[in-house]
Structure 1
Amino acid sequence: MDLYDFPEMGRGDLRAMRLAIDGAFRDFTRAYGETLENLFDPIRALLVLIETLMINSPWVVVLAVIAALIWIMSRSWKIVAGTVLAMLLIGYFGMWEDTMRTIAMVAVCTLVAIVLGIPIGILMARSDRLNAWVTPLLDMMQTMPSFVYLIPVVMIFGLGKVPGVIAVVIYAIPPIIRLTNLGIRQVPADVLEAAEAFGSDAWQKLRNVQLPLALPTIMAGVNQTIMMSLAMVVVASMIGVRGLGQPVLQAINNQYFTLGVMNGLAIVAIAIIFDRATQAYGKRLQKHSEIGHD
């Protein structure tokens, strides 16, 4: 056997393995795809509900609610004024409905990421073994090209809202997991010892000491998750997720410069609003935690 036959044999084996994996995955999607899709019906219903409320409600009411939420988080009139101005410009240029769809998508994806990510981060902080296992997985999730996440979800769920939510959550969840883990691990040991001295059990220490002190770091993770969700929503437009990403995709396909730039600027405006509001809220939490610790 010639030495140069080995590369060809290796390629043949690799092709056979790829075909076997692809076939097994197709069989899995045909057998369990509908069942898995039914599991995500509550998420779809929540997304449809939020979208419907934001699109069908009077724009003045929606704008007032958004401004109130931004004020509650930031307590800054400058950020509120910037939010109102940006939203008025978005409506003036005819991008209101797509913007509402995008905000609803980001809100649901961020909520799902928080519900899943914070408990995982807590478990990682309490178990070094779990931390060692999950950290490489998070590294892979953050370095994997975002388009790759679309392949398995489309094969299982097809096109639409559910595969979009799943792809966005997978792409955006690592920061909230990492920073929850980091925030809890950074709680000073003397504070934990004092809590133990007062008779606190593990759950009481977590609820009354670790989570409040880690909350500013966790909010930084929420901020990064929101930013990554916004970025992935544009990519998810390729699988039928409606919002500001679809006009951008249309502009790329048809070389519509103005359409792409305007919708891109709308995405930037939403990102800045979310970023400034969550950062301001995180700083307020930081001050409160420092005062409480002192």
Structure 2
Amino acid sequence: MVFNGMYYLLNAKCPHLCNGCFLDSQMSYSARNSDQAIRDLTQLKEDWKKIRVTGSNVLRFLKIEEILKLCEQDYILGDVFTIKRDKERLERLKESGLKRVFITSSYSDNVTKKVSLEEASKAIKKLGLELAISYIMTHNNKGEVANMVEEAISVNANSMRFMRYLPTDEKPNSLNLTDDEERELIDKIYKLRSEIPKDKIKIFIHGHFGTKFRPSKGPICFAGEEMFFIGLDNLVYPCEFLINPNNVMGKFFEGKVKIDRKLCGYENDECKLLQMHSGRKR
């Protein structure tokens, strides 16, 4: 039986400690061994239609060229500092089929400075690669949507996407958006997207953001149904934003994935995770 999408985490060590980072709970684990990663990915390809690798400092991961070819993956997640330092490796990856680089801008968290974003963009564009910038929306930066669009355009990004900050549990969190804030944000984003030509920049909204308020237009979240995520602990989660002991869906062992939906509340197709984060099923 062939399943759909599986994301495989390579590394979680990161010095930046950005607010809202999905890697927080995985940072205590060592990075994957590159040879073991290749063996794992080769076995996963037997059962899954699409395999993707992710993590911090993916650009510097040993044998990343071979890994991307194996996964038939034409993009990587990067950060401005690594891209500035590793331009030569970025060029080698382009020769291996790389087409696009995703960067997350922490905008008002003072981690990704605009000057660094500009320098990284120049390095990416010089190689003829596409730049996609992700913005994680929180209570703290909810008023910066227009400025974010302006920033992305100013550094010649090809596309940008808005993502809602997702806590990994249901505890009160100062970064989390209220329903009213999320509704207002979604309206602003849709308005801006309708006003800005796609040839200037393409604006996307992530699958878990805003579906509660625009169910007929909002994107669809496939977490835990057609998309899964293997952490460095070799446990299986619905997606990278829901890495938490309460959200474990199964395990990865000896090259095979075993999923038990009852572990995190998937019974009779009622997903407590999607309900918790206002997601919409396919």
Q: What TM-score results when the alignment is normalised by the length of structure 1?
A: 0.22
Relative contact order (alpha carbons < 8 A, sep ≥ 6): 1 or 2 greater? 1
Q: Which has the higher strand share?
A: 2
Q: What TM-score results when the alignment is normalised by the length of structure 2?
A: 0.23
